Structure 1
Amino acid sequence: MYTALGAAELKQATRSTQRVSNFLGSCWGAFQEWRKRERLRAELYGLNNRELMDIGITRGEIEYFASNGGIDPRGIRTAE
């Protein structure tokens, strides 16, 4: 059975589709950011203590840096 949609129904369907698309886009962006933090965490844990000292952090600060990538406790803004 074929039913033609009126202008109002079509507009509502389009709005619903846009909401779902925006939601999925937000989820995808959050997932990508999470993966980026996980990669950073793995890279930092892979460094030895001397290499960590060279970049100015300690092993105890790795979780902080991985969770707050754009924040530097020394007051220096990191490039992203």
Structure 2
Amino acid sequence: MATTYDVSASRQTFAPVRLGLSLLANYRAALRERHERRQLRARLSDLSDMALHDIGISRGEIDYVAANRDVDPRGVQSAR
């Protein structure tokens, strides 16, 4: 008894699985990013006004800094 498999059919079967896994990975990354933003916001909120001044931000900029971690609110470019 010979059994044959159609390879083209299996590619079509795996495409929705890959899409589902990709969506789950994107969702997990978004949750992780949200969690990190919330942690950063909480840590910055716990600092005194003097400590915030030392790192160059004001209390009113905490939400902006937490949401835009890659952007320096002072406009200083890092020397990478």
Q: Provide, for residues 42-78 of structure 1, a one-character-per-residue CA deviation record: whole Å limited to 9, x for no partner.
A: 0000011111111111101101101111011322247
Write the letter of the residue equivalent to 1:69.
Answer: R
TM-score after normalising by structure 1: 0.82
1:1-80 equivalent positions in 2, closer than 5 A = 6-77=6-77
* Long gaps (5+) in structure 1: none
Q: Give % identity.
A: 35
TM-score after normalising by structure 2: 0.82
Q: In the alignment, is the contact (CA less than 8 A) between 2:44 and 2:62 conserved in 1? A: yes
RMSD: 1.8
Deviation at 1:21, TM superposition (A): 0.6
Deviation at 1:7, TM superposition (A): 2.6
* Equivalent residue pairs, number: 75
Write the letter of the residue equivalent to 1:27.
Answer: Y
* Long gaps (5+) in structure 2: none
Write the letter of the residue equivalent to 1:13.
Answer: T
Bigger Rg over Cα: 2
